[in-house]
Amino acid sequence: MTHEMIIAGFGGQGVMSLGELLTYAGMHEGKEVSWMPSYGPEMRGGAASCGVIVSDEPVGSPVVTEATAVVVMNLPSLDKFEENVLPGGCLFINSSLIERNSTRTDIKVYRIPANEEAQALGNTRVAGMVILGAVIAVTGVVAIDSIGEIFTKVFGEKRAKLWDINKQALERGYAIAKEMMA
């Protein structure tokens, strides 16, 4: 099984870190992984994005163009990456910030109100973790427990105390997606 994902949003939404969490968690589980950021001037403008691959096979191209899952945190990202979802793949839309739905009919779309859910937990900065929980629930790319085990590898020991709220967000997203799937 090969998961090829694109995670996109605007700067400050933590899309790079989300990708890193998935990549670390995959490596932690003994899988083949790669993380490839978009880089250059466009990082400061519209969409910042990264491609994450978690696979049982050695990773070929680190550039994800035919994605098994795409996460979009803002509208420009939806506009840009909607077409990159493979038929039958998944698209996770942050419905708190994106009003329109996907025009694709050959993919599974999950609209997650990530910012609202994060707000309800008391910190909008964990919106990304809500979506990540949903991604894990739907795709099974990594085990949900793996994120906790590698959290400080991405964010450093200094942020270990933030794990609690992030864990809540992750579990909330996971639960929302499971409900949608049921």
Let me know: does 33 contact 19? Beta carbons within 8 Å: no
Q: According to CB under 8 A, which one of 66, 83, 145, 149 is a site residue for another protein?
A: 66
> Which member of 45, 56, 63, 178 binds another protein (CB under 8 A)?
63
Site for another protein in 82-111 (CB under 8 A): none
CA-angle at 96, arms to 93 and 99, nearest 5°? 70
Instruction: Let me know: does 156 contact 113? Beta carbons within 8 Å.
Output: no
Distance CA 26, CA 33 (A): 6
The residue with tokens 């998961």 is 3
Q: With respect to another protein, which residue has the nearer C-beta, 34 or 96?
A: 34
For residues 52 and 163, what is the distance between their CA atoms, to the nearest angstrom? 22
**Shortest approach of another protein to residue 62 CB, angstroms?**
5
Site for another protein in 148-167 (CB under 8 A): 153
Nearer to another protein, 31 or 172 (CB): 31
> Which 3 state secondary structure label does DSSP give 120?
helix
Parallel/antiparallel/unpaired status of strands 2-9 and 48-55: antiparallel
Longest dimension (CA), the chain: 44
> Which residue among 1, 11, 45, 60 contacts another protein (CB under 8 A)?
60
Minimum CB distance to another protein smaller for 11 or for 62: 62
- Which region among 56-64, 75-83, 105-113, 132-140 touches another protein (by CB under 8 A)? 56-64
Q: How far is CA 151 from CA 89, 129, 140, in A?
A: 27, 11, 18
Part in contact with another protein (CB under 8 A); list of ranges 63-71, 92-100, 117-125, 133-141: 63-71
By CB under 8 A, residue 39 contacts another protein? yes
Q: Which residues bind another protein (CB under 8 A)?
A: 20, 23-24, 27, 32-37, 39-40, 57, 59-63, 65-66, 153
